[in-house]
Structures are given as structure tokens and as C-alpha cells.
A and B are shown apart, each in its own frame.
Chain A
Amino acid sequence: MSAQADLAARSRLTPEQNRALQRSPRQCLRHGFVQALPFILVLLPFGMLFGVVSSDAGLDLGQILGFTVLVLAGASQFTAVQLMIDQAPALVVIVSAVAVNLRMAMYSASLVPWLGGARPRDRAWISYALIDQSYALAIQHYEKHPRLNLDQRIGYFLGAVLATCPFWLAATLLGVWLGNAIPQGWALDFAMPITFLALIAPLLRSPSHLAAALVAVLASLVFAFLPSGLGLFLAAPLAMLAGAGVEVLMERRNGARQ
């Protein structure tokens, strides 16, 4: 891009986008960290609950930490422990708990255009720390600021990870030590849905994104009777097809008009 064209493109950006572009990778890290802080509200009760449930189930501290550090995926950890409480065969436990995480493969794929150029070492730790919260936060940031460079994107992701993953571990430990200390009246069960909705809303910026979200909602409700993780794995691809389909239709209509 010539300098002139670059300047013209820059002047079309919002002040917020310009500010984001001028951040150093270190400032991006801090930015991601701060923006991820509200998620502690979600991770704290959820992680504590895992600590409570898994120690009630008879896992020792090492095993509980093993789950939290090595698996690092709440829903899947709960699935595994629940099935172990039900005395399911080990293979069933493993397959179910991994299946709950199938969405991670979709996250991984959708980050390729943004982070695929990173060094293998960076892609290795990014993969490890790819949890719902870090993914959701990063993808809405990247889509809002598409001109960020790779280092800025990695910095932001690392910031989001540092504000979430250590707290997941701390919350699990708190749960093991404190037991059921959080009063139900705080309704923190709903912090997770609310924070996800807050991340989705800014993404609903075109008819195709709206269509995808609508199909996701309807399909997930229709498939809710299926075992955990499976309904999502049907609903999400349907929603993605709907989004891509509407995008193609809109392009055709725009093409016909020109």
C-alpha cells in the first residue's frame, strides 16, 4: 500500500481504532489484561465449584490441580468428574470430556487468519491457553481492529490469558479449601451467560452475523436434549453455514446492483 493510500485508509478509522493501532505490544498486553478482568467474576465461582465438586468426589489435591492445569477447560473438567462420580468406564470419561471441547477446534481454525503467522512456539502456548474467555475476547478485538499487527495481536491475547488462566487455578484452590462459601443470592451462576452475551453483542454488526447468531440460538435450544457438547457441535456449524450463506446472498445482490 502506498503511503498516501495508507494515510487515506487511516483517516477513515475511528479514534478508538487509531488508538489501538498505536499501542506497543506491551501496551496491548496491558489492554487485553484490563479488558479480561471482568471474567474473573465468571471464573471465580465456576472454578471454586470445580474445587468443591472434585474434592467431594474424592480426588486428591494433585489430581485436582492436574485437571485444572493440564486440561484447563471448565466444562470438560466437570464432565469428567461427573462421569467419574457415576463410575463410568475410563474410556467413556475420556471420550466425553474431550468431546465437550470440540468447539476448541473451531476456535483454533477461526484464529488461523489472525495468529497463524506466529512462530510455532507462540502458536503452541496460544493453543494451550485457548479458553472460551481468551478466545471470545481476542476475536472480537481482532475483528474490531483488523489492522493490528501480529505482535499487537499476540500481546493482547497474552494479556487476556494472564487475567484469566491464573485465576482459574486460584479459584479451584479456593474451592478445595473453602468449600461452598459463595452465597447463592449473588446469582453468580448467571455471570457466565451475561459475559458471553456482552462479547457477542458487539459482533452482531451485519445481517449475516445476526443470521448466524439467530440460528445458533434456535438450533442450540432444539438440540438441547442431546448429551452435553453434542448439541453445540450440531448448532454451531449450522449457524456458521447460515452466516456464510447470508454473506454470499448479500454479495450476489450487491453484485447484481452494480
Chain B
Amino acid sequence: MTGYSDATIWLIILAVALGTYGLRWSFLGVFGGRPMPLWAQRLLRYTAVGVLPAIVAPLVVWPAATQGAPDPARMIAACVAVAVGVATRNVLASILGGMATLYAALYLIT
């Protein structure tokens, strides 16, 4: 790591750490036990289903392992994971189903 002094590197680490902690602490720390406004609660109910699929979708369609080329094996595995999860409501079954499908599909397709 040429170009950065040790002090600069530690400055970067500490600033990123503080910034990240600030984001994590923000609402939990400030709002605490006070109730959030109703409209905010309504929006926040959809945080998990709004954020997680948005993280995953590009990774499924353009996987890093294939340098971004769409890969049928990974897409099928993703569909199976969702299907098993919706059907069984069981997180572990869904993970195992998805990974098993991925290995089977990679073996059969390539």
C-alpha cells in the first residue's frame, strides 16, 4: 500500500468505523422507546423485503464468479431457494435446497 502513510490508513479505518457505527446507531439510539410516526412504521415494515432482494438480484443475474455473465445454474438455484422457502417457511431447508440445486445444475450443465 504505497501512497498512504500508516497514519492515513488508520484515519481511514477509524472514520469508516465511526461513520458506519453512526448509521447503525442512528435510529435505534435516537428514537429508543419513543414510538415512530405511523407512516414511518408502515414504510419500515418493508425494509427487509426492500433491501435484501435489491442486494441479491444483481448477484443472481450477473454473478461475480462468471465475470457477470448470466448463469443458468445459479438462476435455477436461486429460484429453488425461493420456492422452498415460500413453501416450507424454513430458512435452513431453503439454503440446503438452493445449494444442492446449484451443485446439481453446475454438474449437469457444465
Stretch of A66-74, A162-170, A174-182 lying at the B interface: A66-74
The interface bits of chain A over 99-111 (1 if a CB of B lies within 8 angstroms of the residue's CB, else 0) are: 0011111111111
Docked complex Cα distance between A58 and B2 (Å): 8
Q: Tell me whether A232 and B51 are in contact (CB under 8 A).
A: yes
The CB with the most chain B CB atoms within 10 A, among A109, A231, A239, is that of A109
Q: Tell me whether A90 and B94 are in contact (CB under 8 A).
A: no
A112 within 8 A of B: yes
Docked complex Cα distance between A43 and B49 (Å): 21
Given known A101-B19, A116-B33, contact A191–B99 (CB-CB < 8 A): yes
A66 to chain B, nearest CB (A): 4
Across the interface, which residues of B come within 8 angstroms of A66, CB to CB?
Answer: 10, 13, 17
By beta carbon, the residue of chain B nearest A139 is B48
Docked complex Cα distance between A97 and B85 (Å): 32
Across the interface, which residues of B come within 8 angstroms of A137, CB to CB?
Answer: 91
B72 within 8 A of A: no
Within 8 A of A (CB), among B48-79: 48-65, 74, 77-78
Docked complex Cα distance between A73 and B20 (Å): 8
A54 to chain B, nearest CB (A): 9
Across the interface, which residues of B come within 8 angstroms of A97, CB to CB?
Answer: 12, 16, 19-20
Q: Tell me whether A107 and B24 are in contact (CB under 8 A).
A: yes
- Taking chain A's interface residues, is the majority helix, strand, or loop, or is none over half, making it mixed? helix
A28 within 8 A of B: no
Q: Tell me whether A127 and B21 are in contact (CB under 8 A).
A: yes
Across the interface, which residues of A come within 8 angstroms of B60, CB to CB?
Answer: 193, 197
Sort chain A's interface into a size bin: 35 or more
Q: Tell me whether B12 and A90 are in contact (CB under 8 A).
A: yes
> Which listed residue (B10, B12, B103) contacts A93, Cβ 8 A?
B12
A21 within 8 A of B: no
Docked complex Cα distance between A239 and B44 (Å): 11
A173 within 8 A of B: no
A130 within 8 A of B: yes
Docked complex Cα distance between A134 and B40 (Å): 22
Docked complex Cα distance between A196 and B85 (Å): 11
A120 to chain B, nearest CB (A): 7
Across the interface, which residues of B come within 8 angstroms of A136, CB to CB?
Answer: 48, 52
Q: Tell me whether A110 and B47 are in contact (CB under 8 A).
A: yes
A26 within 8 A of B: no
Across the interface, which residues of A come within 8 angstroms of B25, CB to CB?
Answer: 108, 123-124, 127
Docked complex Cα distance between A231 and B53 (Å): 12
Docked complex Cα distance between A191 and B13 (Å): 28
Given known A116-B32, A193-B78, A220-B53, contact A101–B23 (CB-CB < 8 A): yes
Question: What would be 26 A-B contacts, judged by CB atoms less than 8 Å apart?
Answer: A38-B95, A66-B10, A67-B16, A71-B16, A90-B11, A98-B23, A104-B20, A108-B23, A108-B26, A109-B26, A109-B31, A112-B27, A112-B44, A117-B32, A136-B52, A190-B65, A194-B77, A194-B95, A197-B98, A198-B94, A200-B49, A200-B82, A201-B89, A216-B54, A239-B54, A240-B43
Known: A110-B44, A194-B95. 17 other contacts (CB 8 A): A71-B17, A72-B20, A80-B12, A105-B24, A108-B26, A109-B28, A127-B28, A135-B48, A197-B78, A197-B81, A197-B82, A197-B94, A216-B49, A216-B57, A220-B57, A221-B58, A239-B54
Give the 4 A-B residue pairs with the shortest CB-CB distance, closest first.
Answer: A201-B85, A243-B46, A239-B50, A198-B94
